[in-house]
Structure 1
Amino acid sequence: MTTGLRVAIMSDETGWHTSRLKKAFRARGVEARCVDLADCRIDTTLRPFGLAIPGFGETLPDAVFVRGIAGGTFEQVTLRLGILHALRECGVPVYNDARAIERSVDKSMTSFLLNLHGVPTPATWASESAAFAQRVLMREAAGGHRTVLKPLFGSQGKGLRRLGANRRDGSLAPLPSLRASGQVAYLQRYVESAVENRQPGFDWRVLVIGDRASAAMKRVGGKGWIHNFAQGAACEAAPLEPKLADIAVRASRALGLDYAGVDLIPGDAGALVLEVNGVAAWRGLQSVTQFDIAAALVDDLLDRKLMARVLTPLKTGDDPNH
């Protein structure tokens, strides 16, 4: 049923992930081509769509898998996301679509949506006011809590700073300059758990595909209290316990993602969601599981996302996602 389909893998670089995806698409009889969003353009002289996707001539791909979006200026990133929005408006299934990616990339919106949908997550504050952020820092310190200052946009554990009272003399350092974080303070209560006080600490990464938690791992150790794989943490297989799986699925659903890498940390009352990655890498997770992640992602795109479009043809004025 899928023979003859053509799919664009949106990525600014080719390598392990894209080769795995291409192999999985080939196994389903689908031609997959890597495309850099920076090479795509809106061109209203082109009929009928006004979009140019390299390698697809005057047509559009049957579906799009978003593997990576390169950084750039605000205008460049806006245009690249705009291309994904435009593809969706043309009825092309985009996995994950631009709206969901925008929600997951913006940590403040992620925290807002998790909280709105009742998904357990640490207390979080996001504001442009340094004075407000300083008051939060003081109030949290008075309550015996430390806080983590994070870049609003960021990944791989980069740029995180743990703040709070000095455990030797109780002094509280002032809030660092917000210049490096774009004059925005995104603060999250640091989770002091029983597990954290043992060596080494860890967090979980759960991969959600469709509406199902598919695989999990522990990221153990790393750079001090930061347990990202990119910061030197070791990947260990972890059982997909029902409560952990349920929270991860709820987190992905809250952001409207087709697939997601959900980062969770153990707390005194259970797991808490720290972040939700809408363009999730899975090389570390694949190293500790026999589950073929690329094949599962491709199957979900073709059998659920794409077939839903085939079974419900787009009508003029319809929302392509419903």
Structure 2
Amino acid sequence: MNHRIPVFTDDPGWHGKRLKEAFAARGYEAVFVSLKDCVFNLGFGANQPAVLIPGFEDALPKGVFVRGVPGGTLQRVIARLDILHALKLLGVVVYNDGHAVERTVDKAMTSFLLHLNQVPTPQTWVCESRYQAQEIYLRETMAGRQLVLKPLFGSQGQGIRKLTHETAFPIPMAQYVDGLYYLQAYVDSGEGAWHDHRVFVIRGKAVAAMIRHGSQWVNNVAQGGRCEAVAADGELALLAEAAARAVNVDYCGVDIIRDGDGKLYVLEVNSIPAWKGLQGATGVNIGQLLVDDFLSCIHTQPALTIVS
């Protein structure tokens, strides 16, 4: 068996180091590869795999671990996701696969799938028309409700804005918003005591959870949120697990908020989640849990035969 595993990422950093250690603990070598460097090799008669991964030109690995999909133009992003789709069709375990990444990087589809599967999530509207967005804004804010404007693609709390009846409209299109309105009802977790939860789910099971306390209404660790461990059980875990099922992922980080009445809502599901803050707060070796689950998948996958 080839004991080298490609980890798709352009920036290994802290998370790459943890994965490399976790693979090494199980006798495997993690090899960092960018999806930008992979090639479709569709020439007839070529004695090589149909997808060329640098360092794996002679044979496809049994599995690949997806830690990052580089951004870029629509064509480039589609081509990179096509590599993930193709690898899965060729019998390679893709963790998380291209469909999971597509469903979760797109906040509109995530919100739709949560709603479709009756997972509590804030009321959401997505449109391109500034006129339609303004109608929603006026209706909601005149009724005393607040909204959050988010980029459709984005993470770590970047580019989000809270809208109130005092907010000027039309809203200047920030670089993150890109001419599209993703509007979500604002859930107040406690003015001056802002907080939300991150729950990590692997193979449908909540394995670690924390509460993030923010100095403002955005609680992300990247925005200065303070992490505190909480039990990954009860209502919080059940809701996170339901969210993971709704978007059908191998592993994910689920962001959950509790309103003033105690009701929980899923805000987002991230299929390429960070876990540095969560691991630091809980002491759970999440990298090792991920690697062990990934390896269990490739060990149950039938061997791939490449026809030349």
With the length of structure 1 as denominator, give the TM-score of the two structures: 0.89
Aligned match of 1:210 in 184, 203, 220?
203
CA RMSD of aligned residues (A): 1.9
Question: Equivalents in 2 of 1:61, 1:293: separation in Å?
Answer: 23
Aligned match of 1:184 in 180, 191, 204?
180
Please say if residues 2 and 61 of structure 2, whose CA atoms lie closer than 8 Å, have aligned partners that are also in contact.
no
Matches for 1:225-304 after TM superposition, within 5 Å? 225-267=217-259, 268-303=261-296
Counterpart amino acid of residue 180 in structure 2: V
Aligned-residue offset at 1:159 = 0.6
Deviations 1:141-167 (A, max 9, x none): 12211001111111110111111213x
Please say if residues 6 and 62 of structure 1, whose CA atoms lie closer than 8 Å, have aligned partners that are also in contact.
no
Question: Equivalents in 1 of 2:275, 2:130: separation in Å?
Answer: 36
Deviations 1:171-199 (A, max 9, x none): x632303474222110000012xx412x3
Aligned residues: 302
Aligned match of 1:16 in 11, 14, 17?
14
Secondary structure of 2:235's counterpart equals helix
Counterpart amino acid of residue 71 in structure 1: G
Which aligned runs of 4 or more in structure 1 are off by greater than 6 angstroms? none
Residue 175 of structure 1 is matched in structure 2 by 170
Counterpart amino acid of residue 106 in structure 1: D
Secondary structure of 1:7's counterpart equals strand
Aligned sequence identity (%)? 47
Counterpart amino acid of residue 79 in structure 1: A
Aligned-residue offset at 1:15 = 2.0
Aligned match of 1:35 in 28, 33, 44?
33
With the length of structure 2 as denominator, give the TM-score of the two structures: 0.93
Question: Equivalents in 1 of 2:116, 2:159: separation in Å?
Answer: 27
Secondary structure of 2:269's counterpart equals strand
Question: Equivalents in 1 of 2:24, 2:197: separation in Å?
Answer: 31
Contiguous gaps of at least 5 residues in structure 1: 167-171, 316-322
Residue 91 of structure 1 is matched in structure 2 by 91
Deviations 1:241-279 (A, max 9, x none): 310001101111111110001011112252111111110
